[in-house]
Structures are given as C-alpha cells and as structure tokens.
Amino acid sequence: MTHEYEGRYRTKHAPHTRTDPDVAKIVREKSRDKHLTCKSAFGIVHESGASPDEVGQVADLLEIKITTCQLGLFGYGRKKRNIVGPAEKVSAELEEALRKGLVNGKLPCKGAWEVADRFGLSKMEITAACERLGIRFSRCQLGTF
C-alpha cells in the first residue's frame, strides 16, 4: 500500500484525524529526510508506549515514509521490494506454526514476528521460510500494507 500513497500518506486517514503531539515529536526527531525505518518506528513504540498502528498513522499524517521493513518486504531502495530469497528448507514445526497463523490465507506481520520470537529466528528468516512455502504477508503493524 505504501507505493499507492507515495507523497500523500495522510490521505489514508480521515481528514480530521488527530495525533498525540508527544508521539509526533518523537517521530519527527527519529526520521531522516522524511523517512523512518521500521526498526526506528518500533523503537518509538517502546519509548512512547504508543501502539505500532498509532506510530504508523502519525508517520502518515506527517508524510514520513516507513522504510527498511524488518521482514525485508520493502524500503531497501528504488524498485527493490522483497530482498529475501526462499529458504533452502523449512522444518515441519516451523511450517505448522506459520500455517496456523494464516488469516484469510496470509500471515499478518505481527504473527510473523511472534513465530520468529517463538522459534528464536530472525524476522528475515521467517520471510525466507514463507517465500519457500508460498505464504504471503498481510496487515503490517505500522499500517504500510
């Protein structure tokens, strides 16, 4: 969804949407050249106590682009989308956990993070497993897609 709204992220939200000024201040401080990395956005979540969705919404309203997705799905340069290739193999246990997390046939971002934590894997290793299994992602926690 990010590319659809390039340069007009605020239009994803109702015209009179309000933001927490403290969260907006932190988002402005942590962004560079109207870009905020996914990792920095989650740092703001932990620092401010705001939800990931709220931080993403604030970034949208400030026309700040979320980049460098921790799952490797977007934000790694022009025309580079998923930078992670398929895993060589996926254990049966990991496959089962990933498939159990599917919602309408796709794995929500939050579910991918939870599986990564549970299995002690990096988020990009989860993406590689999903690539191998043909699993697509949905519902970015920051609202980018």
Q: For the segment 26-57, what is each residue's pLDDT rounded down to a tens digit? A: 999 999 999 999 999 999 999 999 999 999 99
Q: For the segment 104-138, what is each residue's pLDDT rounded down to a tens digit? A: 999 999 999 999 999 999 999 999 999 999 999 99
What pLDDT does residue 1 have?
A: 43
What pLDDT does residue 103 have?
A: 98
What pLDDT does residue 4 have?
A: 67
83 vs 79, more confident: 83
Residues 73-82, mean pLDDT to the nearest whole number: 76
Q: For the segment 53-69, what is each residue's pLDDT rounded down to a tens digit? A: 999 999 999 999 999 99
Strands (E) located in 1-145: 35-37, 65-67, 106-108, 136-138
Q: Where are the domains of the chain?
A: 3-67, 92-138
- For residues 5 and 140, the answer to whether their CB atoms sit within 8 Å is no
Count of C-beta atoms within a 10 Å radius of residue 58: 27
